[in-house]
Amino acid sequence: MKKAAMIVVILSMLVSLAACGGANETNNGTDNAAGQTGQNGEKSPLQISMTLMGGPKTPNAWSESALEADLEKNLGRKVDIQPIMLPGWDQVQTKINLLMSDKKSMPDVVWYLGSMTKEYDNWAKSGVLVDLLPYLQKDGKNILQYYSKETLFYSWDKTGKFYRLPGDVAEPSAMTTILRKDWMDKLGLKKPETVEEYIDVLRAFTNGDPDGNNKKDTYGLSGPTEWRSFAPILYAYKSDPENFMVQPDGTVKYGAILPQTKQALKVLQDMYKEGLIDPRMIANTDGTKFDEIVQQGKIGSFYRWIDYFNPSSIVAQGFKANNPSGELMYIDPIKGPDGFSSDYPEQTGGWCFISVTGKAEEPGEVVKVLNQMASPETYKLINFGRENEHYKIENGEFKTLVNPDESAKLGLGNFSWYISRKDEANIKNTPEVMELFKKRAETSQPLRELRVEFKSLDRPAWKEYSTDINKLRDQTFYGIISGKLSIDEFDKFVNQYYKMGGQQIEEEANRLYKEQKKEYEEYEKWYAEQIETNK
């Protein structure tokens, strides 16, 4: 009995002891760290803690020591990188929020998603982020030269400060209309240019038994369940149902309520009725699932990544393995009734960002480090390794010399999205793909000019009403395409839109659009003075 009582007591004491013990340890830890940097001053190694999201997230990896050595060589100072590996995509936002919730636990450099606008706004306003401008002007040449003026606009603060830098800006357009070339050849079809020609091709793909198995088991158009999958039709009709679009009179309107969207939906409805559209496209198909569908080889056309044309693409390899005679080709965007055509423009401002926090004792030195990481040589080193040791370039094509597991152990890619270079330093792209990216940058320009990419983080009406509106939009539009709803439902949706807060959203959007135009003019002036002269 006594023994038992003892167990209870000891166990409960253990809990409280462990708690206290832990607390003491951490306190000592921080004291020591602070003491060191304080005493030794300039000469001590520069310690930088940074949150990392990319690559295999290997702790104490080769890439880390290689980067440290590279930095010491180039900056003349010992640098100690202390990576904090962020968890997977589902939880990354939570983790960043927690780390940033307290000044003591903040990293020196924080990497975060572009969608975390509210958080960024918060951090900037409450003064936990460092204004990078003076440091960038002094030591940020690589960064300032690499990013375009338009891109940096989205990181610029109206007060003339820079609280963040884009971590990665996608290519201006990363997607293209794709067709089965072998099916085109077999059925004797010619490259479609207009919507009518494109639909004819889809019809032939659906009904002409292109895979020659005497079964009607092929579909013309397929894609993941998302609006840009319908790009060949929607964009040809100048309709982007997910964004605000500039009208001929200079105002902006939500793309989903424009009359051309109704026209495009009608076309899609007819296509669906005729069986040209894969029914999986209207529900429950995500990107991964769709990649499987592509590799099954029963789909004639889809709107997907340019990367499919890189020989190293997983999808390309799988497609070839499952369809030895299959071949994919890309075409320019389809032209609509009034000759308009465009590819899907990626965001100009970047999809992830990095900021230096107030925790960093020497922000200037931190910027030097970031700037060095943005140089083509260091970028290649930490992302691909050393030439002829980890990779080689053969006839302009990138060939890796390490197997995937070794590559993961080396931690190649650990520092991804710390100013990713998409130019020649991204040696993974083949020359053909590089060329295609350039071409799509041009062919996506028409929609980029029409579409509004809001810079403002303060959009209360949008935040309040868009969830309900977009739900109704998706219900109505997918209902129309699948034939469950008549095309007249579109007009009801437009009416409903204005009743559900669309009025406020539209006013807000127009106000922001005007302000943004003015702001951009200011920015251009500021850029010429502050950045151009320091590039």
Partner 1 sequence: MLEKRSLLKDVVRDKYLYLLLLPGLIYILIFKYIPMYGLIIAFKEYNILMGVAKSPWVGFLQFERLFRTPDFAQIFSNTIIISTLKIIWGFPAPIILALLLNELRRMFFKRFTQTVIYLPHFVSWVIFAGIIVIFLNPVDGFVNYLIVQFGGQPINFLTEPAYFRSILVITEIYKEVGWGTIIYLAAISGVNPALYEAAVMDGANKFRQMWHVTLPSIRNVIVILFILSLGNILEAGFLQIFLLYNPLVMDVADVIDTYVYRRGIVDANYSLGAAAGIFKSVIALILIVTANKIVRKAGGEGLW
Partner 2 sequence: MNKLTSGEKWFTVANYIFMILLIVIMVYPFWYITMYSLSDSKLAASGGLFLIPKGFSLASYQTVLGNVSFLSGFKVSVIVTVIGTLFATFFTATTAYAISKKRLRGKNFFTFLILFTMLFNGGMIPNYLLIKELGMIDSYWALILPPAIGAWNIFVMRSFFMGIPDEMEEAAKIDGASDLTIFFRIVLPLSKAVLATIGLFVAVGYWNDFFSTILYINDKEKWALQAVLRDIISNTSSALQSQGVSLGFQQEISESTVKMSSIIIATVPIMVIYPFVQKYFVKGVMIGSVKG
Residues that bind partner 1 (CB under 8 A): 5, 8, 11-12, 15, 93, 97, 100-101, 115-116, 118-119, 122-123, 126, 128, 217, 219, 225, 278-280, 282-285, 289, 462-464, 466-468, 471, 474-475, 477-479, 482, 484, 500
5 binds partner 2 (CB under 8 A): yes
Binding residue (CB under 8 A) for partner 2 from 37, 47, 225, 400? 400
> DSSP 3-state assignment of 111?
strand
Residue 267 in tokens: 């076309």
Nearest approach, Cβ of residue 240 and partner 1 (Å): 18
DSSP string, 308-336: GGSTT-HHHHHHHHH-TT--EEEEPPPB-
Q: Give me the least distance between CB of 432 and partner 1, in Å please.
A: 32
Partner whose binding site includes residue 122, from partner 1, partner 2, none (CB under 5 to 8 Å by kind): partner 1
What distance in Å separates the CA atoms of residue 397 and residue 391, rounded to the nearest whole number?
10
User: 71 or 268, CB closer to partner 1?
Assistant: 268
Q: State the Cα–Cα distance between residues 355 and 129, nearest whole angstrom.
A: 7
| Cβ proximity to partner 1, 314 vs 393, nearer residue | 314
Give the contacts of 267 (CB within 8 A, at least 6 positions apart): 195, 199, 233, 237
Q: Does 27 engage in binding with partner 2 (CB under 8 A)?
A: yes
- Rounded to an integer, what distance in angstroms lies between the CA atom of residue 407 and that of residue 404? 5
Q: How far is the CB of 487 from partner 2 (least distance, A)?
A: 33
**Structure tokens of 188?**
């004797």
Judged by CB under 8 A, does residue 98 bind partner 2? Answer: yes
Interacting residues with partner 2 between 46 and 65 (CB under 8 A): 54-59, 61
Contact string 285-324 vs partner 2 (x = CB under 8 A): --xxx-xxx-xxx------xxxxx---xxxx-xx-xxx--
**Cα gap 252→244, rounded to integer Å:** 6
CB nearer to partner 1: give 379 or 477: 477
Distance of alpha carbon 344 from alpha carbon 444, whole angstroms: 6
Instruction: Find the binder of partner 2 among 113, 187, 408, 441 (CB under 8 A).
Output: 408
**Residue 409 binds partner 2, judged by CB under 8 A:** yes
478: partner contacted, choices partner 1, partner 2, none (Cβ within 5-8 A by kind): partner 1
Q: In the range 426-445, which residues lie near partner 2 by CB under 8 A? A: 426, 428-429, 437
Residue type, 45: P
Q: How far apart are CA 200 and CA 220, in angstroms?
A: 10
User: Rounded to an integer, what is the distance from CA 35 to the centroid of its chain?
Assistant: 40
Whole-angstrom distance, CA of residue 134 vs CA of residue 354: 17
Provide the minimum distance between the beta carbon of 10 and partner 2 in the complex, in angstroms, as a whole number. Answer: 12
